[in-house]
Amino acid sequence: MQAILCRSFGLPDTLTLEDIPSPTPVPGQVLIQTKACSLNFPDTLTIQDKYQFKPPLPFSPGSESSGVVRAVGEGVTHLKPGDRVFTFGSHGGLAEERLSDANATIPLPDGMDFVTGASTLYAYGTSYHALKDRAQLQAGETLLVLGAAGGVGLAAVELGKRMGATVIAAASTEEKLAVCRQKGAAHGINYTTEDLRQRIKDITGGKGVDVVLDPVGDQWAEPAIRSMAWRGRYLVVGFAGGEIPKIPLNLALLKGCAIVGVFWGAFTQKEAALSQQNMQEIATWVMQGKLTPHIYREYSLSEAPQALTDMMERRVIGKAVVVL
Ligand SMILES: NC(=O)c1ccc[n+]([C@@H]2O[C@H](COP(=O)([O-])OP(=O)(O)OC[C@H]3O[C@@H](n4cnc5c(N)ncnc54)[C@H](OP(=O)(O)O)[C@@H]3O)[C@@H](O)[C@H]2O)c1
């Protein structure tokens, strides 16, 4: 089978496309024929050895994929060959066949196509957990989403709107902000050309925002916290901007606000029942057309390094998907 391989840690142009033998599932695993693999920011970090999980070399990157079960390992009873599934793990998706933990593999709803399936779990799962379980976002509140045209960001824009919030999207280009408006943002701020704090002050009439969802960190975290309303909730989601910011704690005191951590991967393990309920709700909304992943571009397997480069260079809007 063909697979993109990371043989030594580095940038996407060091990845190779190779023919390798098919793997065999061990107990608790399933072998999946990959149909689509959507990229997520951690995939760009894993290949550079900059992420919290370090797969043994060589490995195929790609955490989130959909496909068809080809074989199941001993002890796997809820899946069988021929089942259409989506799956999530630290790596393996950028290959024609992938081994996955059966517990992280879920049947794809009837009628959901593979590209949509591969683009649904991670971004919506993270944003819904953040907004619903961690921030308890209420209808009528204001929600600021940073990096709002990224995978997690755009999912938060759509979900925030569905949950009845007034969504303020912050992103780096007008093109990105236009997509955020199509997905339900009431306001757009270009945080590379406009003063983020002043614009939030103007939009909220000086009150500040109730909830901030921040997948970017770096230089944007502190001005966002300084723009919070009384009893606001600032969601720490990620640091795509590069730096993990250090925040003066007096800001939390002065604003009477909460700085709230979000770790979706751990949530799916520690609170599996609640996570499955969230995923069920998300899948239903996707099937009803109430949520629609925005697909930036479909790439072939040989174009996967280009897809990772596009993500690192901030070109991707929504999801980049490799189709096999
Ligand atoms: N805590 C959790 O459970 C959890 C779960 C999922 C993801 N995450 C984290 O959330 C973050 C976003 O993930 P994602 O998959 O949504 O990524 P993504 O699609 O690449 O979106 C990231 C966004 O960050 C912005 N950005 C600012 N500076 C950047 C830079 N130097 N390089 C790249 N992007 C930059 C870009 O928007 P602009 O160009 O508009 O600034 C981009 O759209 C990542 O840090 C990821 O690790 C955390």
Q: Where are the domains of the chain?
A: 2-120+293-323, 122-265
The two domains 2-120+293-323 and 122-265 share their CATH topology (first three levels equal): no
| 45 Cα nearest atom in ligand 1 | 47
51 lines ligand 1 (CB under 6 A): no
318 lines ligand 1 (CB under 6 A): no
Q: Which residue has the tokens 């925030």?
A: 160
**CA pair distance 37, 66, nearest whole angstrom:** 6
- pLDDT tens, per residue, the chain with 324 residues: 999 999 999 999 999 999 999 999 999 999 999 999 999 999 999 999 999 889 999 999 999 999 999 999 999 999 999 999 999 999 999 999 999 999 899 999 999 999 999 999 999 999 999 999 999 999 999 999 999 999 999 999 999 999 999 999 999 999 999 999 999 999 999 999 999 999 999 999 999 999 999 999 999 999 999 999 999 999 999 999 999 999 999 999 999 999 999 999 999 999 999 999 999 999 999 999 999 999 999 999 999 999 999 999 999 999 999 999
Specify the pLDDT at position 184.
98
**CA pair distance 56, 322, nearest whole angstrom:** 23
User: Distance between terminal CA atoms of the chain?
Assistant: 12
CB contact at 8 A, 79 and 72 = yes
Return the CATH number of 122-265, one of 3.90.226.10, 1.10.520.10, 3.10.620.30, 3.40.50.720.
3.40.50.720
Phi, psi of 72 (to 5 degrees): -125, 145
Specify the pLDDT at position 53.
87
CA dihedral of 96, 98, 103, 108, whole degrees rounded to 10: 0
Specify the pLDDT at position 167.
99
| 317 Cα nearest atom in ligand 1 | 43
**CA pair distance 258, 260, nearest whole angstrom:** 6
238 lines ligand 1 (CB under 6 A): yes
Specify the pLDDT at position 52.
87
Q: In one letter, which amino acid is 15?
A: L
**CA pair distance 273, 240, nearest whole angstrom:** 29
- Classified as helix, coil or strand, 63 is coil
299 lines ligand 1 (CB under 6 A): no
- Classified as helix, coil or strand, 174 is helix
Longest dimension (CA), the chain: 61
**To test ligand 1's pocket by mutation, which of 37, 40, 41 has the most ligand atoms within 8 angstroms of CB?**
41
Class of domain 2-120+293-323: alpha beta
145 lines ligand 1 (CB under 6 A): no
